[in-house]
Structures are given as structure tokens and as C-alpha cells.
Structure 1
């Protein structure tokens, strides 16, 4: 299928084959399986439970993508599991159970829907989390997730040297494929879209040489299975867990809005407050529907922007195609088992690259802000508290009152709260001849000064 250089806008219809073709490219680029696989390692799930969690997540991502692109935001956005939620998910899941976790997710999703319907997000929450804070939070997310890679590799059963070798080979392969994918050629585009998958395949092959790959569960898995509601049992509701998850979902929402504006910058379309509020409703509803089937919370994936920049196909019908493909994959347990048997060491090798990418994305987003004393405090102290929270002994955290324990159990929450509070209490002023208000209004223009 030939790629036209003409921009295909969001409301332009595609044929079914075109929708599925471009949608499949987006599914490959978004790698829906990475988020649940990290949780599989953290919760030490067996292959059966691991395959189920991957399937639930694929189903949630597919349904949320269709809801968002088809009925609310109506952009070519792909909804996938947010890495910003990992800390809170692990903290709540470890302290309680999955039923309480999904109860908290349902409450948080409901809050998103309410603030979208009442149109208060663009008026209030955006004031609390401006661009400087949002970029700082992204940096904190990457920093908070980095220790998980090292700690998990150390905790994996087996020879630590071999585990680190498998992770290192995967890590290096990922970097190589990414660099090769940066070349402006047909081969470069192919490598860029599938770099994660290629690196995982190579890492898995290396791991198989050490006997760390067992494909027998794949052979016995069925080809088709229908999902059921509340696979972890009826949801349980805990106030502290719900408050923590609601706060995290609001942070994730800022992440999504950044992706939406990236989309408009690439496509030339507009993003007004009315569309933002519709998108907020769509994200909340997508998260809520996903929790009914055991799926994790979703966000609009920025990795899809790379595909859009290449194809120039911004039609939301491509996103609908991606949603259909994700759902179809979720209904195939054999495929989910194939993903679940990927060795943990290989996944952590990929995860390390993702952590680096998240941190650099945050740094890139705050580069337009002057290195003033105020801004340095907001960013630097937030990074300090994020690292500090990640080093707190679990025994100390667990001994504290529930709400404080949940907050300190997630370094991301600690860093995000620090950034928000410092941004509010330290006065804004004209610095270096450029005001923060001017930067928020027109960051691109300021960056050229």
C-alpha cells in the first residue's frame, strides 16, 4: 500500500483494509504487552495468570481506543496502559488485593468522567499542572521506574550473571534498532515501528540458549476464549486506595493531553477546551470499561505519534482498526501465552530503554523554560523527593497510616505532589526577560529566542 504524502485528516474515511493496515502499524508501535508484563514480574504471576492479565489489558486498550477515537476525542489516538500508574498499582496490589485495586480504578475513572462532563478540568486542573509541572512529573515517572529494572533483575531466580547478560543483549539490540530506525528510508521505517518486537525476539532467542524459554504452555492454550466480567471478583472499595488512584489518573490525563496536542501539531488540526473535555470523558469511560474486564488504566500513547509522522494518516478510522485488532488479539489465549512466556530478563532489558526514553521526554518538554532559581527548585526538589521515596525501606512505609503508606509507596506520587505544591507556593515572576505565562501561551515561539 503506497504511503501518500498528503495529510489525511481525522474525519476522512478509510476502507476497512486501510483501517486495519494502518491500525496494525499503530498496535505494533504501541506494544500493549509491556505494561502488564512489568506487573507480571512485580507480582510474580504464573504463566496462566500472566496470560490472562495480558489479555485483559489488550481488551481494555482496544475498547478504550474505540471509545475515544470513535465517539469522544475523535482523533487518531491509541489508548494503552500508562506506565505512570505502575507505582500506585503495585503499591495498592501488594497492600490489598486485585479486587481493591480495581475498585480504586473504578472510582478514579468515575472522577475523570465527572470532571469532563462538568468541564472543570480545563479550568482548574490545568492550573494545578501547567507545562513545567507536567514535564517535571514525566521526569519523575522515568526516575521512579528505573530502580524497578535493577531490583527485578537481581530478584529473578537463576544465575544473576546470565540474567544480566540476557537483559544486556536485549537492551543493546533495542538501542541499535532504534538508531537504525532513525534513518529516513523504507528499512528505517520498518525498524522504527517494530524495534521493540525485534529486540524481544533476539533477546528471547539468546535466553532460549540458556534454557529460559518454555513454549509448552503455548501448545496447550486454546485459540479462542470469551472474557468475563470482574475476573478478579466483585470490586472492593477503599477510600485511601481510591484517593491515590484518582490522583494518579489525573496525572495520567495530563500525559494524554500532551499527546493530543502533539497530534494537532502534526496534523494541523485544532484543539479547543470543548474537545479536551470530550477527551477527558472518553479517557475516563475507557478506563472504566477496561476495569470491568480486568484491564489496567489507559492513556493516549505518544509512541503512536511516530507512526503518524511517517504515514501522515491521521484518520480516526485507523485508530478504530487498531482497536478491533487489539480486541481480536485479546480473544486469542494462545497468542497471550506466547507473550507471557517471554523471559523476565528480556522484558527488563526493554523496560530499561523505556525508562530512559520517559526521562528524556520529560527533559525535552521543559527545555523551553528558563533555568531560573524558581524553576530549578520545582524540578530539582521534585527529583530529590522521587529518588528519596524510592529508597525508603518497605518496613517503614508499611508501618505508617494507610493513606500515607499508599502515597510514600509510590515514588511517582511523591514527586508529582512535590512539583504541584512547589509550583503553587513559589511565586511566578518575570525571569530572564521571559514570563512563565508567555511560555505557557506560546512555548514554540519562546524556544526560538
Structure 2
């Protein structure tokens, strides 16, 4: 390993790459397959069609992750960011599939991906509106909005008949304690795979408790190929296209927040050119999703916390995750085995990882001057408060027009837009952290 390189560009030994990469895959798997399940249910798919949709999504997730981490031409931000299907698209896609079918979904995804690709260099010029007071608020909202997902996993997953049973909570607690114990008493490689080891320990505990179901593994085929336009050639409906473009505008805001969060964690400032490459990769991956029977893609916030928790900053680790996801998309049997990890096991790890994201936001906010610039406290307080409204009361915006629902039900987008607007209102487009110094310089005073 070349120590002269920035940690993000260091290539680790193959064994470490695989285990660290697998750790990322396990952390994001439940979220990655949730959207295909939801859309398949809305489309009334058979079990075989559901399996195909999941494998198509995993395969495209892998390609999108490789594009983002390794880069191609002027695409890819080249930091340890894993790509996954955005939840912001779920509600519009359900409406589209019920009104116009799967082919309309894919037509709208292809067009929206192209629009994202073309808008990327213009959107990246807005980076000056993301000083630490904004990015810290956004990262904090990301962590706090993800935390309920980890808690729901720990309870067994929403809809489980034994939701929040003591058995589920015990397994999640064992995983969380195992992660903390390994982190404290083991250093180096072992300490860095604390989440993976915690998941393995949780799985061992869950098996005798009857929580692990390996059904379907023996009947799953070894190899399954993802053929383009499996459900038919795309059709283009203007209402579907407009709604999906709106989704991708939301995704661009969310991805920007995630990119900046990871940049803070790995000590690599994200500039406008980096952001342009990252958003172009989002657009290209989304277009590819429309071709390969998949969905719109974005940086997966769930894995931001894992980077912070492990301290492993190499982008090649997440590139390895991309390879694993591609193989899972081609090997349904392997995907079925990993899918057997119970939600309660994932919950223990999720609580740790998502809390780390929120803590990273607080770390960023520690750089903000709250003493000399009294406006910053209002920016943080109001943006976090408004960002959490959909979490605290999901019906808060129910009377807002349909076209706005994608925006107002996205915690990250609400928090980001509020922080950007308030920062521009109070501090101008230059940010709020140097405003007192600028005023002092203009008046000849020392700060």
C-alpha cells in the first residue's frame, strides 16, 4: 500500500478489500431490495418476476457503484460512496406503474437520468451555498432521519407479526454490543471490520432462536442474466417524465449532501468539479437503470456512517462492493443467502452506523462560529427542525399539492433547502463562517 497517496486512493490487500466491501454490501442490502419489493407488489408481479427485479437492481447497483468510485471519462466522484436506488422515487413509481405500467417507469427514468447528466455542471456551481453551517445541518438531518430505519430493523422490520419482540431486541442489542466491544479492544484490521463481525455474531445468535430462514436458497438458480428491456421497450408519458425529473432534482440535492458528508469524514474537500462528476454518474446510472430494468440511483446515505465508523477511507473498498453487487445480480443463489440475514441483526448495526452519521454532522457544526455570528444557531435549529417534520408527523404535508409530495416527504431535501435558504438570507451566498472577519476587515478592526 502506497502511504504517500491520500487514503481514499490507497489500494488495500485483496482479503481486506473483500471483507470491507462485503461489510458495505451487508449494510445496504435491506435498503437496496426494499424498493424492488415495493414496486413489484404495486405491479402484482409473480415470485419469479420479483426475483428478477431484485437481481436487476443489485446488478445495476454494482455497475453504478463502480462508475462512481473508479470513474469513467468525466463521470464518478472517486470517493468511497456506494450507489443504491433512491426512496424518493418510490411514490411516483407506484403511481406510474398503476396508471401506465412498467414501461412508462423506464421511459421516465431514462429521460430523467439524461436531464440529471446534462444539469450536473450547472448544479455543481451551487456548491458555494453549502458552507459548514449548511453541510453540518444536512449531515445531521441525514443521520437522524436514517436512525428510525435502524430502530425498525432492530424491532424485526415494519409489518413483522412479532414486531419489537424481546427476542428481536436481544439480537439487535447483542450485535450493537459486539460492535462496540470489538471497536474498543481490537485495533487495525479486526477493529475495522467490527460491523461485519457484529453481523456474523448476530447471525450465529439468531440461528438457534429460529430467526434465520434459508428457504429458497436450494431452489434459487446459480446464474441469472439481466436482459435489457425485459418488461418491454420504454414508453414516454409526459406526466411520468415530469414527476421523475422532479425526483432527480431532489436526488441531486440528497447526493450533494451525501458527497459532502463523506468528504468531511475522509478529509477530502469536495469541489465543484468533483460534484459535477458525481452527479453525472448519478444521471448515467439512472439512464442505465431504465435500460436494465432497474431504478433511479443516488449515493446511499446508509453507508456514509460505515465509512465514519470503520475509518476505512479507500474508494477501492467500495469498488469491491460494486463487484460483489454485480456478482449477486448474476448469482441469485448467493443473493438469497445474504438476504437470509434477519432484520434484527441488521438493526443493531444500523443504530450504530446511522448515529455515526448524525455525530459526523455535529462534528462539522463544531467548526461553525456560533458566538460572533448569532444567525448560525437559527440556521441549524430551523433546518434540522423542518428536516425532521416528515419523521415526526408524516401527515403534516398531506394537503399540499401532489407535485410537491416528493419534496416535502424527503427529510434530506427539506433540511437541505431550508439550510441553504436560511444561510443565503442571513449570511449571503458566501456562507456564514467568515462574515464577522469580513466585517472587521472592512472596518479596520481585529477579530
Provide the TM-score with structure 2 as the length reference.
Answer: 0.75
Conserved? CA contact 1:133–1:420, under 8 Å: yes
Q: Distance in 2 between matches of 1:35 and 1:131?
A: 28
**Is structure 2 residue 130 aligned with structure 1 residue 136?**
no
Residue number among 73, 79, 82 corresponding to 1:80 in the alignment: 82
Q: How many residues in Structure 1 have an aligned counterpart in Structure 2?
A: 416
1:177-326 matches, within 5 Å, as 177-181=179-183, 185-186=187-188, 189-193=189-193, 195-230=194-229, 234=234, 237-260=240-263, 265=268, 273-293=272-292, 294-295=294-295, 297-299=297-299, 302=304, 323-326=322-325
Q: 1:297 to 1:238 in 2, by over 3 A?
A: same
Shift of the 436–350 alpha-carbon distance from structure 1 to 2, 3 Å rule, reads: farther
Aligned-residue Cα RMSD (Å) equals 4.2
What is the CA distance between 1:255 and its match in structure 2? 2.0
- Distance change >3 Å, CA 147–CA 438, structure 1 → 2: farther
Q: Residue 32 of structure 2 corresponds to which residue in structure 1? A: 36
Q: 1:143 Cα shift?
A: 2.1
Distance 2:71 2:59 in 1: 16
Give 1:438 shift. 7.6
- Any idea what the Cα deviations from partners look like across 1:379-417, whole Å, max 9, x if unmatched? 1112222232223354x7555421223323333332222
Q: State the secondary structure of the residue aligned to 1:417.
A: helix
Alpha-carbon distance in 2 for matches of 1:367, 1:222: 52
1:256 and 1:299 in contact (8 A); partners too: yes
1:271, 1:383 → 2: CA distance? 22
- For the 8 Å contact 1:57–1:81, the answer to whether it is kept is no
1:254-305 deviation digits (Å, cap 9, x = unpaired): 422553575564xxxx976545533442343234324433155132865685
In structure 2, do the counterparts of structure 1 residues 13 and 172 end up closer, same or farther at CA, with 3 Å as the change threshold?
closer
**1:424 counterpart residue number:** 424
Secondary structure of 2:139's aligned partner: helix
Q: Which residue of the partner structure matches residue 444 of structure 1?
A: none
Give the Cα separation in 1 of the matches to 2:145 and 2:270: 31
Distance in 2 separating the partners of 1:330 and 1:29: 17
Q: Using a 3 Å threshold, how does the CA distance of structure 1 residues 390 and 232 change in structure 2: closer, same or farther?
A: farther
Alignment of 1:81-160 (within 5 A): 81=83, 85-86=86-87, 88-93=88-93, 95-97=95-97, 99=102, 105-116=109-120, 119-123=121-125, 125-150=126-151, 153=155, 155-160=158-163
Q: Does 1:24 align with 2:18?
A: yes
| Offset, 1:221 | 0.4
Contact 1:219 1:334 in 2 (8 A): yes
Task: Answer yes or no: is the 8 Å Cα contact 2:37–2:50 preserved in 1.
Answer: no
For 1:321 and 1:122, locate their aligned partners in 2 and report how far apart those are by CA, in whole Å. 27
Q: How far apart in 2 are the matches of 1:166 and 1:242?
A: 40
Q: What's the offset of the Cα at 1:334?
A: 0.5
> Any conservation in 2 of the 1:111–1:284 contact (CA below 8 Å)?
yes
Provide closer, same or farther for how the CA distance between residues 142 and 232 of structure 1 changes in structure 2, counting only shifts above 3 A. Answer: farther
Counterpart secondary structure, 1:298: strand
Pair 1:109–1:25, CA change in 2 (3 A):
farther
- Would the aligned equivalents of 2:65 and 2:81 in 1 still touch at CA under 8 Å? yes
Shift of 1:150: 4.8
C-alpha contact 1:137 1:415 (8 A) present in aligned 2: yes
Please name the residue that 1:446 is paired with.
none
| 1:342–1:108 Cα change, 3 Å | same
How many angstroms apart in 1 are the aligned matches of 2:338 and 2:425? Answer: 47
Equivalent pair of 2:214/2:340 in contact (CA under 8 Å): yes
Match of 2:442 in 1: none
What is the alpha-carbon distance in structure 1 between the residues aligned to residue 150 and residue 265 of structure 2? 29
Question: Where in structure 2 are there 5+ consecutive unaligned residues?
Answer: 439-446
**Cα distance, 1:178 vs structure 2:** 4.3
* Matched position secondary structure for 1:33: helix
Distance 1:276 1:367 in 2: 24
Kindly indicate whether the alpha-carbon contact (under 8 Å) linking 1:59 and 1:326 is maintained by their aligned counterparts in 2: yes
SS in 1 for 2:79: coil
